[in-house]
Amino acid sequence: MSDKRMFEFVEGSSSKFWEVWRSGSEVRTRYGKIGTAGQVTVKDEGTEEKGIKLYNKLIAEKTKKGYEEKTAGGAPSATTTMTMPPAQAKATAATPDFSGLLKKVEEKAKKAGVTLPAGASEAAFTALETTLGFPLSASMKAYYRAHDGGPEDADDFVDADDLGGRELLSLERIASEWKVWKGLLDAGDFGDNDHSDPEKGVQQRWWIPQWVPVTYDGSGNHHVVDMAPADFGVAGQVLSFWHDEETRTVVGKGFLAWLASPDTKFNGGEGGDEDEGEGGGWRRFEVDEKFWMIKLDGASHTVRYGKIGTDGAEKTKDFDDDDAAQKDHDKLVKEKTKKGYEEADG
C-alpha cells in the first residue's frame, strides 16, 4: 500500500483536509472539515498502473487548488509518510459531546441488569485503526473509551429494531470479524462486489472495508458502522448487514445515537416480555439459525424475526383494508419460502 498523504486548505471560512492513499488498483481518499472524521471514497481503476495514474492526478488537482501538504505535526512537507490517518483536531475545532447519549446507554444497561465492561486502552484503538487503515468515528471512540464492547454473554446484549441477540463486539473482536470479511473480499468471493440492494445513502456493494462490524450474531450477520457512505448518507451511520441477504438498511445516523435509541435494548437481568400464545395466529418459518414469524390481524399484520433462541424483533404494519393486509401477508410468506425458509410445526 502507498503512503498516505495529507493536504489541508485553510482560507477565509474554509478549513478542509484531504488525504489520499493507494492499494494496488484502488485509490482511496478521505476528506472533510478539519476536526471531523470526514468521508471516505474508494475507486478501483482495474489495474495498478491506472491506479497510480489516478493517484498522481488527484494530488496534482488538489495542489493546483491551493491545498498544502502537511506532516502529522502540521508543517508543510513535500513527501509526507504516514502509517495512520492523521489527527484532524485543531485547537479551534469543537469536540462533539457524546456524554448525554453515553449516559442513556449506561442507564439502559443498568435497568436491564447488564454490566458493561471497562473502556478500551489507547493501544487497542491504535491496533484496530492500524488494521483498518482509517480512524473510527468519534461516536464509536466515545463509547469504546468508556466500554470495550458489551457483556461476555452475547445473548444478553442488544436486540435492535431489525433482529435479536447480537454480541456487541470489543475492539479486538471487531478486528477479527473485519479480517474475515476483508479476506473474503480479497479472495474475490463477492465477484464484482456490486450486487447488494442498499437503502438510499449506502454504497451498492456486498461489503467494503469501510463497513466496520460492531455486532455479531454468531451466523455471519452484523451491524456495521459505515465510514464510506454514498450520496445522501452520513459517515458513521449504522447499517444492518445480513451475510446472505442483499438488503443494506440504515438503522441509525451514528453509533451512540443508535445504541441510545428506543430501537435497541439490552436482554439481561429482567429479560424481555414473553408473548402469550405464539401459536394463536402466528405462522413460524426457520432457516439455518434464523426464524421469521407472521400473524394476520384484520387490516394489519405483525412480523417477528431474529436468531433462533432469542425473542427477536417485532414490527406491525397497517393497511387500508383486510384484503390489502392479506395480500401483503401472502407476498411475504412467498418471499421467505423462496429464500429457503421452511414452515415449522405449530
- Going along the chain from its start, the domains and CATH numbers come out as 5-70 (2.20.140.10), 99-260 (3.40.1580.10), 282-343 (2.20.140.10)
Residue 48: the pLDDT is 84
User: Which amino acid, 52?
Assistant: I
**Which of 66-75, 130-139, 295-304, 331-340 is predicted least confidently?**
66-75
CB 260 within 8 A of CB 252: no
- pTM value surpassing 0.75: no
Neighbour order of strands in the sheet with 68-70: 39-44, 26-33, 14-23, 5-11, 68-70
Report for 92-106, 124-138, 189-203: range of highest mean pLDDT: 124-138
| CA distance linking residue 339 with residue 206, whole number of Å | 18
CB 237 within 8 A of CB 250: yes
> Tens of pLDDT along 41-86?
888 888 888 888 998 899 988 888 888 887 544 444 433 333 333 3
Q: Is 59 exposed, middle or buried (0-12, 13-18, 19+ CB in 10 A)?
A: middle
> Tens of pLDDT along 253-278?
899 998 888 777 776 543 333 343 33
